[in-house]
């Protein structure tokens, strides 16, 4: 049974629903390409988008292209690349004016971390790189030390290192999810609404931080993050809650 969770408003046309993907609405998989999007989730998101008047957006470190491949044929407003890409409507793509890619030599050094390290995977997301060690947890210290050493070799490069669940992500510091959410909330149908942002790790904390600006609420998954009003135990709980929120089971969790 899903507990009752208070929302900023009982009217879905007064709120905006913003959802991180991996670890939030999708279960973490051994590799990024192995995640599974349940058909029931596509149906829930379609229904929730309709009920909110289109004020439903995905907020992810994945690129917009990757997001669309995962959720096809569903296409939603979205923030990709941790804020490097913003799509205000299903038919539009806008890149952040602050977004730039990592230095080429820096990317090459980061990619070398996976050489002679079985189970370590370097994922190039375009505006960021993620070094995964879920398949080789014994490599955690080596990966983190290597990333720290590489960062130290580029003292003038504004790099942000974000540890996650068996992953270390490296991206330019000039953009983040919080700034992108702030931009998204200036445009219809999001403008004037109170947002709910659901996320699961450190990369989502900048999103939680901007919720008070819009009298919104942050919900975390797996751990109680700073600035959040509720914590879901697992993505499966988030999916069930979204189904109820959309009215898919004939109830609303208010």
∠ CA(18), CA(199), CA(143), 5° rounding? 135
CA–CA gap between residue 49 and residue 31 (Å, rounded): 28
For residue 150, give every residue at least 6 positions away whose Cβ sits within 8 Å of its Cβ, in sequence order, or none. Answer: 106, 109, 110
- The catalytic residue among 14, 20, 153, 237 is 20
20 catalytic? Reply is yes
H or E segment and range at residue 209:
helix 205-210
Distances (CA, A) of 91 to 68, 77, 88, 152, 157: 12, 8, 8, 41, 34
Neighbours of 247 (CB within 10 A): 14
Cβ proximity of 83 and 203 under 8 Å: no
H or E segment and range at residue 108:
helix 104-111
Quick one: which of 139, 7, 11, 130 has its CA closest to 60?
A: 130
CA–CA gap between residue 200 and residue 222 (Å, rounded): 7
The three-class DSSP label of residue 196 is strand
Positions marked active-site: 20
């Amino acid at each position: 049974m899903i507990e009752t969770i208070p929302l900023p408003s009982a009217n879905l046309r007064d709120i905006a629903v913003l959802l991180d993907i991996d670890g939030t609405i999708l279960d973490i998989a051994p590799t990024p390409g192995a995640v599974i999007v349940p058909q029931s989730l596509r149906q829930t998101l379609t229904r929730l988008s309709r009920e909110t008047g289109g004020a439903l957006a995905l907020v992810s470190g994945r690129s917009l292209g990757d997001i669309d491949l995962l959720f096809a044929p569903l296409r939603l407003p979205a923030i990709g690349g941790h804020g490097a890409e913003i799509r205000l409507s299903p038919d539009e793509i806008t890149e952040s004016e602050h977004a730039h890619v990592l230095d080429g030599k820096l990317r090459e050094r980061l990619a070398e971390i996976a050489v002679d390290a079985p189970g370590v995977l370097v994922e190039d997301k375009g505006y960021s790189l993620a070094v995964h060690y879920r398949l080789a947890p014994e490599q955690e210290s080596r990966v983190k030390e290597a990333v720290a050493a590489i960062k130290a070799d580029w003292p003038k490069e504004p790099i942000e290192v974000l540890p996650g669940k068996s992953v270390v992500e490296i991206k330019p510091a000039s953009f983040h999810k919080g700034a992108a959410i702030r931009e998204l909330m200036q445009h219809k149908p999001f403008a004037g609404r109170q947002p709910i942002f659901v996320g699961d790790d450190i990369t989502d904390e900048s999103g939680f931080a901007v919720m008070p600006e819009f009298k919104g609420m942050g919900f975390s998954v797996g751990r109680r993050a700073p600035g959040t009003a509720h914590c879901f135990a697992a993505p499966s709980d988030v999916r069930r809650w979204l189904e109820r929120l959309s009215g898919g089971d004939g109830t609303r969790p208010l």
